[in-house]
Structure 1
């Protein structure tokens, strides 16, 4: 590797790994040097297709001196264990969301990283793209006045319609709230700041679901988590966000995220994407009007948060898709489920500072 390039080792070579490999190859300052998987043949297949990448066991990857950051792409139930192993091996670690399946697993990771002066990063990094960052610029400029409320909706009939092995979406660490909620709550915290209290309700429409595609089509599996969650988030700023996350809806006409202010409204694009159209309607111009791009990493994809972290490690600056943010998002999500279970509001114990905005035209290497 050349100077100022951070070596990345990937643990877990499932479907999402291909997207990361594709985008990391285009990003400055990072280079994938190793891959590992419980099925070594899958890791070897990636190595065979990508010169310079070596396949190895997870233990060997953790011990490899060429690996500076471990990219954790395992299933949610394994996130905490892989993060812990990386930190104990003296590696920085970055992973797919959620940080862990619950706060009890996640909190020790932050303490371990801090004690060893290591970094934890966590998806989603979609909020670093031009979509959410342009929306943030609109709010920071005061274009819709003071934000007072927001709404966030994600609805689908279920991932079993397209995923050949969908069980993990319906196990602890999954469900619509922990699967897709991190995109929405991370975007909302980026826009409106941390959450101090939540209230909610949750339900489950079916005890079993059926695989619809692939070699196991027709097989049934159990549903162990709520599949429809709705609630209200009270931000520290006083803004109130209504959320709905569901695997039980066949069709709906709902916005992804909207923010409502004293002088207008803001339409935020899908937080599962890096870009998208940002629109505002104001007290003086009631029609929705597209806003020019005003911030964010342009033309990027999954892994930009890791590249942002690699740069921050080299410069000693804070990174944006950080473990404290991921923990607060997990805390909000878990608190929402607790509020539904307890039938009462729940205070969110953690807090976080909004990460620094990504300036217009920024690069992960220089922002």
Structure 2
């Protein structure tokens, strides 16, 4: 899994907790090669076109509250029109392209993995994202944002170089075959999409630069993104009890209680984690785990404990498979974040998104969905591939 900043899209080392460029948190995104493993093609991780990963990163950054995006009106449209936004027609192949991007959101896929309405959820998320994308693109063009000739040439050169680099390894010398297989759209459509996104990127950057990051907006941003921002900074020592028999479990609990007492008596917890911890990811983070709303479904016992935990609280939490010795070392709330660079970055993000949401609620942009074509559109092959892939990560 590749690690990216949720704010600026910078690729990060796997051990980095915050972006070296802007200080924001990280997200994990599948490599394009992993995406195509779903099609059971024998392709190595380095052999697949990596263009899309940067695009997907940016999309998630700016559309975290909706889903994903479409492009401007394309020449060479393929398939029936699914929807029209502000005069831009969205054909079937582009809609499916963006469905595929929506399906890169692991949390979304996990949340609806067992739902009978999974396909409908993905289609609706894509529809909402398309609307937001075209609103942003239209606003950008209305305000005069465009690519210079040099910027456009640089983008074209980048795409050409990437295709040249990977075509031999993929065995796809034909550009048409290459773009159709990996993206389901033509090279012309993909290039137009990249150009449009570069325009939107310029627009978003300008909007963020002009955003009011005063305390009032900081407070609003904190409340809006509280699930991401409010957290309990903890240190956790993990012990695996999955396959222990009764006698082994008794010995294990004796050890755990001794370690618990050592921590209460002032023993350095990180030293104990290094000596006795059994979770590699926790060791890599120096024992520090930020518990926030994301833990509610995945680690409910830790999340429940964190709700009332205060600084210096230490507890033993036992689950079916693991025992955690957890200590709260800091409460990250608005007071601790206000006026920080991180809070100001989130505030810029908030202001830009609030502005576009207001535009979407207004009568400025007309959205028309061809219900017949939309309802008939089958994306079950895409959702099945996504589920099959993520199940290999989730282990079931």
Considering the TM-score relative to the shorter chain, is it more than 0.5?
Answer: no
TM-score between both structures, scaled by the size of structure 1: 0.18
Whichever structure has more strand as a proportion of its residues is 1
TM-score between both structures, scaled by the size of structure 2: 0.17
Whichever structure has more helix as a proportion of its residues is 2
